[in-house]
Amino acid sequence: MAVVRHFALNLVRSASDKKSIKLHRKIADWKADYLGNILTGQNL
């Protein structure tokens, strides 16, 4: 389970905007298109 969590955090950290990691996670929960961009590796 820790490997999956680490992988997910690395994806969130890869976003190019200047928001905090905590805010990235919240926005990804709120907006499906933002989550899709993070999962596909598209820089925001």
- The pLDDT tens digits of the residues spanning 1-44 come to 899 999 888 888 887 778 888 998 899 899 999 888 888 887 65
Q: Under 8 Å CB-to-CB from 15, ≥6 apart: which residues?
A: 24, 37, 38, 43, 44
DSSP 3-state helix, strand, coil percentages of the chain (rounded to 5)? 70, 0, 30
The ranges assigned to domains in the chain are 2-40
Give the per-residue pLDDT at 32: 92
Give the per-residue pLDDT at 43: 64
